[in-house]
Chain A
Amino acid sequence: MENIFIKYSLLILFLPLAAFVIQIFFGKRLPRQGDWVSIGAISTTLVLAITMFVAMIMKDDPDFYQEASFTWLDMGDFEIRLGFLVDNITVIMLLVVALISTCTHVFSTQYLKGDIRYSRYFAYLGLFTFSMNGIVLANNLMSMYMFWELVGVSSYLLIGHWFEKDSAANASKKAFLTNRVGDIGFFIGIMLIYNAIGSFAFSDIFDGVSSGLIAGSTLTLAGIGLFMGAMGKSSQFPLHIWLPDAMEGPTPVSALMHAATMVAAGVYLSVRIFPILTPDALLVVAYVGGFTALFAASIAITQTDIKKVLAYSTVSQLGYMILAVGTGVYTAAFFHLLTHAMFKANLFYGSGSVIHSMHHALHEKHDHETDPQDMHNMGGFKDRMPITYWSMLFSTLAIAGVPLFSGFLSKDAILAGTLSFAQHHPAHFLLPVFGFAAAAMTAFYMFRMMFLTFHGKPKMPDIIDDIHESPKEMTGPLILLGTLSLFIWYTLPYFNPMSTHGWFTDLVVPSDSVVPGNPSAQQIEEGAHHAHHLAMYISIAVAVLGIFLSWFTYIKKGLSAQAWTDRFGFLYDWSFNKYYFDENYDKYIYQPSFRLAERVAWIDWELYDRYFINGFGRLTNWASKVTGKFDFDVIDQFIVDGTGRMAALFGRKLKTIQTGKLQNYVLYVTAGIIILMVIQSF
């Protein structure tokens, strides 16, 4: 019993990888394109994860902790050890990943039926599950970073599954690059910490921080650096831009990665590193999270694409979790991660079910123009797709924070923590305002989505007859996860819909921050406890308000959405266009970057190389011409040949006395003698 955690973790980690390898190499040749291989591997991990979970419950030990590591690379003094860490958080997270992953696999068998890259798709799902489990199990920052990037890649591959569409290809690239921006910060954070502490392992880092090896602004910077990684992956403002675009991927992928698990990795990281975050860093975290929660919710209100609504809702909910980490109630963040994973995945499955059905209906009509994801083309699906409807309704109630549902518990815990934080630090009163405002908006836009999709009159009556409930591979996960949106699963063995108290709170107990100056876990707990009732009342009130407004506008038609839109046109435009973030990033970041790159390349090639480097060539060429000229005209022609010419001239001149006539010579001799004699005589 003692060792099953490590052993099972290993299996859970590597089974999906094995599935990935098999699918990549043999997938196409296997019967059913090998989906059973992937499903088999993933459901085995689910069984293992459940076993671990049960073992954890039986152990009932909040301090349960196991670690195993090995030397990965060793250069003498410099070594990197990788390893596993299994504690209660890990086990819960593994279960979440395995459960959602299994549901996604099953759901995908129908959703992607007949897809041209069916086996490839399952392979990537396996890769993703492997990477995600790697993040969950990491006991050190280095392996976390490595799996972090691998998750990024599998996300890239899955978002770009339908890469024939430019929008999908762009979205996948955008997701990867935006994540990389965060990863830069992550890596800088790792380097700062490693530099000070000399280890990547969490346990060493906590020890190092508590013994003061790294403190003050360096630690704050390191914390913010690591948090940047979380911002990228969890799509926090201002790196939130990739997640809505990531909806270009198949809907089950959105459910698995861009709702439940991968985007939660950022939160998971924040939860893991919470003990080393300094008060300053925590403030940054809290504001980023709080602002994102409200900001994303305000965008979700006006979106018409059903998946975009869910995407912004995810961003907003992730903001909640980050806000919770920032205000110190990080176990609440993890709790919300857990509940959110269930109901948000379910919402995505539901939307997938709707889209799938819309797609088929439109296909029947040979209509390839109409957008199957636009809610303005839906309406009145309630009776056509009852399972989808009820399942989604449960999850919507959960996300809206209605009592009896899971979201209420976790959201309440977060809001209580936030409220308590503001009570202790009145200067930061904005944080709970963000939280409650976002809660109201969430209730509003989620019910707006439900009403537009399922209620009212069909907006496209001609297709309504072709709208059918999805097959059981798709409704199965819907029923399962819809059920898991109920509160009871999270509070067992207690039955109190108003309190989070249950197995979770028993097993996941906050630990003290190791940074001096941070309040202890107990202080935070007590503060949250005091704020609990107030937070609960307000959150129920805002949820009800939101739902009521939504009902009043879209069902009762007491308020005209159109009229409000016209009245606040510019606000609507801002929200509808996501505050023009993409446009502005494009205008002020991407385009200038490309221009810079082009300028640099131009300087490099056209200027530096052509004129400077080749200039040397040209200079040499010119110099050689000049010296060549000098060499020929001056040295050769003038000096060398000149000497010859001079000799010839003298020769010609002297030749004339060389008559060859002896008599002349005799005459010269005689004359010479006479001259000599004359000279002698003087």
Chain B
Amino acid sequence: MEHILSLLIWLPVMGMVAIAFIPREKEDLIRTSAAVTTGTQFLVTLLLWSAFDSQDGSMQFKEWAEWIPSFNIAYHLGVDGLSLPMVILTGMLFFIGVFVSWNIKKAVKGYFALFLLLNTGVMGVFLSLDFFLFYIFWEVMLLPMYFLIGMWGGPQREYAAIKFFLYTLFGSVLMLVGILGLYFYCGKTFDILELTRVAPEALGGILWWGMSAIKVIWVLLFIGFAIKVPVFPFHTWLPLAHVEAPTAISVLLAGILLKLGVYGIIRVNYGLMPDGVYWFSTALALLGLINVVWGGLCALAQKDLKKLVAYSSVNHMGYSLIGMAAVVAAGEAHGLNMKAAQAGLGGAVFQMFNHGTISAMLFILVGVIYERAHHREIEGFGGLATQMPIYTGITAVAFFAGLGLPGLSGFISEAMCFIGAFPVYKGIVIASTIGILLNAAYFLWAFQRIFFGELNEKYSDLPEINRMELFTVVPLLIITLFLGIYPAPYLDIISSTMDSIINHVVSFATFASM
């Protein structure tokens, strides 16, 4: 158990090395090794969960080793209630991702090698407690993603890949500047825990070009993370990347990579610059509102199913942003409303997980139909419900989960975000409830056009969803349903950590320093 986190991070690299030694013709062996690697990793994440103490809101399973002492950089890992669910989700989605990409024919060896490298990057970001390490993993993630989209993607893959790459790199650079700012002004350390202790006070009162250093660094880091989320107006890489990426990569992109943005904001911006949270929270809620409405309207107008789902991600992450802004409710200005803060932040984090499962499911389902019909034009289908009843049923559940139907997990997190943010941002929340309608509108309209009506003659021999595909979707479906009916297991994991984050933000926010 001592090095369980390291194991999680480096396991995929080991798998990658193993794959490197397999001759490229033995494709099945390559796939199997990837499945074994990610499967083992998934099991380890479950093991981690079972050993995790959910009462403890601080970091657990910490690992620390000196790395570059001259710059005070260390190999520092840890997991808490914020990252643990994401680690489990990562383990699961990568495992599922292997099966989703089972039908990849082109350069199988390279594909799975990059796939596993991506896995390491993602896992590393979630587990790093050293900012330098964090940044390195952040960048490690970027590279395989570029190739996975650029080589195995759709017709516009090169354009999409380079756009994705440049967009996120732009964010990373701003983030790097922010990190260095923190490094030099907070006692020359990259350690996130140390910075969490030191930074809120060390940064106080420093002015750069007449602006508070906190604001500057907040915005720098925020943009870096916001691009990943993606927050309007940094969202346009997403539809393109999603549409062009192969199914499994879309799944991972929506399921995990987008969550890194929210994770980063909560871990870094909230932890290191609580003053900035107060300063920025209204903007955060507003951005959430824009995400909800803009994403919803865009989704409504899409003709391509995958793009619709992509824009639904923009829409759904908006709820998360609104929920995150609610953390200020626990401050004195809002009457120490701990309830609202817990609901909001908990909702945001829950939404992040739920969107992970739901959007993954949606992308897999889009992939299923694309593989059969070779197009994704919503108008081009029709009446598939009679032809593929099981597929229709599963898609219906996924769509209903997407539109926030009670009994499915998305509802709870959306409701929590709303309830949490309401005491502080009444107007914004009321305006964003229009999202409830928009979600339903675009999902149901698309559902009708694809599945209802007379069966399109072209598709009268479309095969039903097969076992392998069912295997990838059903677990996600069960999670969505289970957490929708009984969310307590999830909320138990996060609640102590949420409390400590809220208390941290509230107790360190001084305003004097701004």
A residues with a Cβ closer than 8 A to B are: 24, 72-78, 116, 142, 145-150, 153, 156, 160, 163-164, 166, 168-170, 172-173, 176-177, 180-181, 183-184, 187-188, 190-192, 194-195, 198, 593-594, 596-598, 600-602, 604-605, 608-609, 613-614, 617
Contact = CB atoms under 8 A, between A and B. Distances in A.
Given A176-B444, A617-B166, A191 B419 contact: yes
A600 B440 contact: no
Given A150-B405, A597-B298, A605 B418 contact: no
B64 to A, nearest CB: 30
A118 B80 CA distance: 50
19 contacts: A72-B486, A75-B346, A75-B491, A76-B338, A78-B340, A148-B406, A150-B406, A173-B448, A181-B437, A184-B437, A192-B422, A600-B297, A601-B297, A601-B298, A601-B301, A601-B302, A604-B298, A605-B298, A617-B163
Given A73-B491, A176-B444, A191 B385 contact: no
A146 B488 contact: no
A78 B236 contact: no
Given A163-B451, A164-B383, A195 B298 contact: no
Contacts of A170: 448
Contacts of A180: 436-437, 440
B488 A73 contact: yes
Interface in B245-289: none
B495 A74 contact: yes
Contacts of A609: 236, 240
A191 to B, nearest CB: 4
Interface stretch (B37-45, B117-125, B426-434): B426-434
Given A76-B342, A600-B298, A169 B429 contact: no
A517 B488 CA distance: 42
A74 B491 contact: yes
A597 B299 CA distance: 8
Given A166-B452, A600-B301, A609-B236, 9 more contacts: A78-B420, A164-B383, A170-B448, A172-B448, A183-B436, A187-B418, A195-B422, A597-B300, A604-B294
A78 B239 contact: no
Given A149-B406, A177-B444, A597 B419 contact: no
A160 B237 CA distance: 37
Contacts of A608: 233, 236
Contacts of A145: 406
A395 B111 CA distance: 70
Interface of B: 163, 166-167, 233, 236-237, 239-240, 294, 297-298, 300-302, 311, 338-340, 342-343, 346, 383, 385-386, 393, 400, 405-407, 411-412, 415-416, 418-420, 422-423, 429-430, 433-434, 436-437, 440-441, 444-445, 448, 451-455, 486-488, 491, 495, 498-499
A75 B498 contact: yes
Given A150-B407, A198-B339, A617-B166, A164 B454 contact: yes
Nearest to B302: A601
A142 B487 CA distance: 14
Contact of A163 (B434, B452, B486, B488): B452
Contacts of B433: 184, 187-188
Which of B163, B338, B343, B498 neighbours the largest number of chain A CB atoms within 10 Å of its CB? Answer: B343
A592 B419 CA distance: 30
Contacts of B419: 190-191, 194
Which of B407, B416, B486 neighbours the largest number of chain A CB atoms within 10 Å of its CB? Answer: B407
Given A166-B452, A198-B339, A601-B302, A76 B495 contact: yes
A173 B445 contact: yes
Contacts of B491: 73-75
A164 B387 CA distance: 12
Given A177-B440, A194-B419, A597-B298, A73 B383 contact: no
Nearest to B499: A76
B473 to A, nearest CB: 16
Nearest to A71: B488
Nearest to A609: B236
A166 B453 contact: yes
B444 A173 contact: yes
B437 to A, nearest CB: 5
Contacts of A192: 422
A523 B455 CA distance: 61
**3 smallest beta-carbon distances between A and B, as pairs:** A146-B406, A601-B301, A169-B452
B377 to A, nearest CB: 15
Contacts of A600: 294, 297-298, 301
A411 B412 CA distance: 40
Contacts of B420: 78
